[in-house]
Amino acid sequence: MSNTPVTVLGLGDMGTALARALLKAGHRTTVWNRTAAKAEALVAEGALRAETVAEAVAASPLVVVCLLDYDSVRQTLDPVAGALSGTAVANLTSGTPRQAREMAAWAAERGADYLDGGIMAVPPMIATPAAFVLYSGSRSVFETHRAALDALAQSHYLGEDAALAPLQDIALLSGMYGMFSGILHAFALTGSEGIKAADFAPMLQRWLNSMSGAVAGFAAQIDSGDHAQGVVSNLAMQAAAYHHLLEAAEEQGVSPELLAPLGPLMARRVADGHGHEDLSGLVHLLRTRA
Ligand code: FVH
């Protein structure tokens, strides 16, 4: 169904970008926000303002929720729970896999069709080719409302378990923050000798681009369980070299706190007899739940 009427609950930076994308794609877009003034710009662009959550939910078959966290989602939806039967709820609020499963159960008890989503974009990226959204939960909501969802970003449906989208969203963000940690440490280190960040940045970017090629190799080793497969730089060598990173930080007066946790993990894995393998074997030390 194209041009389905859509309601957007939550007009923070992200909710506003989502509502604007829906308007631009020609959807009748009803908006609600706790602080009503945030709806004004969108209303000027053609959105319909709902005075209450109940009015907003009644306005459209698809309700996109983009609030701060799952507590605010429950605070917003609890009072209208009785009116959700038959409504498709696409909750794009960030949360954990457990929260998504609980929200899906809560929605099912009220007869609502629930789709969870993880937005892999910042607001200016919405409705550009760079943005994608991970979805999990009701396949029927995803398929029925695909056109509206595609107006926001490229859509990826991961499966019926509502936890799948937040799990992979958080995994992607974890990878990102690991990379950001290394970037910040690298700039602190070069800055300790007065090298301007802008001068070092192109080399850092080149190195990270080339090292991102390791992702596929690690994945093959993790899936096969053979961490020695195709190893180029073995763990024993890397553990010894990693010590230099921590020592250099100390010598240069840079805190090693963003880098430090990896050192003991490498040492443990080498001590356990895996020095000939690759770094990918560290996943066994991270998985504390069988
Ligand atoms: N912005 C980003 O870069 C990221 C990208 C990836 C996905 N996240 C997640 O999207 C959710 C919303 O993020 P946001 O950027 O829109 O956040 P804010 O601009 O801070 O707006 C928060 C909205 O939530 C409303 N709100 C907060 N608490 C309550 C509550 N108890 N009851 C009802 N509404 C509530 C708030 O309303 P108001 O303060 O304007 O009245 C805003 O509408 C989020 O999960 C990100 O992690 C964004």
Q: Which residues pair with 113 in a beta bridge?
A: 88
**Alpha-carbon distance values, 23 to 40, 47, 174 (Å):** 14, 7, 32
Q: Rounded to an integer, what distance in angstroms lies between the CA atom of residue 51 and that of residue 63?
A: 15
Atom of ligand 1 nearest to the CA of 38: 40
119 in ligand 1 pocket by Cβ < 6 Å? yes
Q: Which residues pair with 196 in a beta bridge?
A: none
CA proximity to 49, closest of 66, 32, 25, 69: 32
Same-domain pairing of 30 and 84: yes
Q: Which domain holds residue 257?
A: 168-286
Same-domain pairing of 13 and 132: yes
Q: Rounded to an integer, what distance in angstroms lies between the CA atom of residue 75 and that of residue 68?
A: 11
Model-level pTM?
A: 0.94
- CATH number assigned to the domain comprising residue 199: 1.10.1040.10
94 in ligand 1 pocket by Cβ < 6 Å? yes
153 in ligand 1 pocket by Cβ < 6 Å? no
Q: Which residues contact 70 (CB under 8 A, 6 or more apart)?
A: 93, 95, 99, 102, 103
Same-domain pairing of 208 and 264: yes
Number of domains in the chain: 2
Q: Is residue 1 part of a domain?
A: no
258 in ligand 1 pocket by Cβ < 6 Å? no
93 in ligand 1 pocket by Cβ < 6 Å? yes
Atom of ligand 1 nearest to the CA of 95: 45
- On whether ipTM exceeds 0.90, the answer is yes
Of the three residues 129, 160, 191, the one that is the final residue of a domain is 160
Query: pLDDT tens-digit profile of 120-175?
Result: 999 999 999 999 999 999 999 999 999 999 999 999 999 999 999 999 999 999 99
136 in ligand 1 pocket by Cβ < 6 Å? no
- CATH number assigned to the domain comprising residue 62: 3.40.50.720
Residue 256 exposure: Cα atoms within 13 Å on the Cβ side: 16
**Ligand 1 centre distance from Cα of residue 16 (Å):** 10
Query: pLDDT tens-digit profile of 165-201?
Result: 999 999 999 999 999 999 999 999 999 999 999 999 9
